[in-house]
Amino acid sequence: MKRFISQLIILIVICFLASCGTIQEKPAVKSGPVINKPANFNHIKKALYSQYNEWQGVRYQRGGLSRRGVDCSGFVHITYKSKLGMHLPRTTHLQSRIGKEIRKEDLRAGDLIFFRTGPASNHVGIYLENNKFLHASQKKGVIISRLDHVYWKANYWKSIRI
């Protein structure tokens, strides 16, 4: 019996660690401001930098949704809800399936940026400006990184505009 329980716990941990947010949920219900109107981009940038100031350095925690720890898709989910008044799905997988795919060259503040970081894992961040994006890094917590950094450049997957 103990062996069965141990194996069950290991299986649960492996499933949980498979990627940054893999729990299935219902599609997003949009509300709040329309992101793709050019007049909103300054407002969006200010809101995103405000979020960064509040969350800077919060450690990464897979499945986390608080200042005690947050993962990449959770941070995007919280940021969109609290700063932009929009409900996005909780997981990277579902976040990557909403909105309209755009070219990397067309990125604007508030667009989602996705990366393939492993065979079964993805990462998501929010574009700010000038090749910079906001995200929850596994090593450094909530930070601003550059898209032209060798790691992010090599693992870029796609961009989505909500």
- CATH number for the domain harbouring residue 103: 3.90.1720.10
72 belongs to the catalytic site: yes
Does the residue 87 lie in any domain? yes
Q: Domain range for residue 77? A: 35-161
Coil/strand/helix, residue 139? coil
> How many structural domains compose the chain?
1
Among the listed residues 20, 77, 93, 123, the single catalytic one is 123
Hey, what amino acid is at 53?
Answer: N
pLDDT for residue 41: 80
In-domain check, residue 94: yes
What band does 4 get if pLDDT is binned at 50, 70 and 90? low
What integer pLDDT is reported at residue 3 of this predicted model?
61
Which residues have CB under 8 Å from 86's CB, separation 6+?
28, 30, 31, 32, 33, 35, 80, 162
Report pTM.
0.79
The answer on pLDDT for 40 being more than 70 is: yes
Residue 6 lies in a domain: no
Predicted confidence at residue 19, as pLDDT, reads 47
Asked if the structure places residue 40 within a domain, the reply is yes
pLDDT tens sequence across 95-121: 999 999 999 999 999 999 999 998 888
Question: Catalytic residue at 149?
Answer: no
Q: Examine residue 56 and state whether it is found in any structural domain, yes or no.
A: yes
List of residues 6+ apart from 128 with CB closer than 8 A = 45, 48, 49, 109, 134, 144
How many other C-beta atoms are found inside a 10 Å radius of the C-beta of residue 134?
23
Query: Catalytic: which of 20, 72, 77, 93?
Result: 72
